[in-house]
Amino acid sequence: MRKHPTMVNRAKDYLEHRRALGFALDISGELLLQFARFADDSGHRGPLTTELVLRWAALPEKASPRYRAGRLAIVRPFARYMDCRCLTPLCSTRSVACAPNWDGVAMVCCCLIPASMTSGTASRVDGSCSGTSKEWMSITPFRLLRPIWDTAKSPTRTGISRGQLSCFRRPVNVSKNSQGSSLPALPEKRFEQSLVEYLTKEQMQSLLDAPDTSSRIGRRDCVLLMLMYNTGARVSEIADLRVGDLRPESGGSVHFHGKGRKQRSVPLWRKTVQLLRKWLEETASSADKPLLPNSRGGFMTRAGVAQRLSQAVATAAAQNPTLRKSHISPHTIRHTTAMHLLQSGVDLSTIAMWLGHESIQTTHQYLEADLESKRKALASVKRPRPSQSRRTASKPLMQFLENL
């Protein structure tokens, strides 16, 4: 008969895989081996149970709840690893709740729910769930559970109300979509989506003229606002720009490292290139230095960019009071760039590449918000002219009136 591997051997395999990925796991690795030795010394065979993990986490008896929580946190990724490797069925009606990843493989949800929490509802919570089930899985988020180490001393104390668990009693149906991947067959939540807010060209010009160029901070803010309007970049992309990201050749462009590790280049206006050249002559930074440094010479944060924009809006509002009526954020400048490109006749696919959108459906929101294009479309339609018929009096009536 084939001998089952011990828990220590499984823990060593897990630590070897994790360390091959670059994780140190010095202290946590030693604690995990202590748990494995505890399980072997206890004569435990088969699936991991809540009682086993809680007995080990409660050692020593006078340990604080924070210490016990740390010991539980070490066992959870090991339990997920064992379930993915099909080393042991981890899901039972008393121990753990499963959560699916989007490839259809059942994953352990880091919970280890005590039997007292699911008493009376175990058949609904995870009674039909197995470690490799791909059809029905129960989801119980750990963030909604109270600290379960309290149940180690008092098995009758649930630590969580049944009302909090009631929304997780129904299993989630996982079905195949048209591409063949397993996704939860849940309808998307409907929500109210407002139209895009953007600035007019007059408002944007007032905003660009707001910084005081007599100071270094003002000149930096002038370059910042011009770059934001020229490129329509996200605030994180602007804040992370380095001097080496500028491309002065072929008229001038800037290279962005966008969301999702996607990169793109955006051309610059001649005015923007002139401002950047003057700014680089003043800063004289190396290629790896931030293009728009803060007061300490480091990279600006998103909050810092928003604060400088708010100050420019307050200054520009004195000349253009219409700026006081709406909240202007760095993303508003991004919307403004897209809307002005659209109003200038640029097609949606080019705007999507300009902004770094993955799908053109995201860019379609600007077409819906462009009221001027809708007016032009309405003007191209021939207006109906309803007939204005007048009521004429009958001939006998007219003769009667003429004879008077």
Annotated catalytic residues are 234, 259, 331, 334, 357, 366
Q: Which fold has domain 201-374?
A: hpI Integrase; Chain A (1.10.443)
DSSP bridge pairs for 242 = 290
DSSP bridge pairs for 100 = 106
Asked if pLDDT for residue 188 goes beyond 80, the answer is no
DSSP bridge pairs for 266 = 254
Domain boundaries, the chain: 7-177, 201-374
Model confidence at 312, in pLDDT bands (50, 70, 90)? very high
Task: Tell me what pLDDT residue 106 has.
Answer: 31
Q: Which of the pair, 178 or 279, is modelled with greater confidence?
A: 279
Task: Tell me what pLDDT residue 94 has.
Answer: 34
pTM for the structure as a whole? 0.53
Task: Tell me what pLDDT residue 387 has.
Answer: 66
Model confidence at 59, in pLDDT bands (50, 70, 90)? confident
Model confidence at 140, in pLDDT bands (50, 70, 90)? very low
**Averaged pLDDT for residues 86-90:** 42
CA end-to-end span of the chain, whole Å? 128
Asked if pLDDT for residue 229 goes beyond 70, the answer is yes
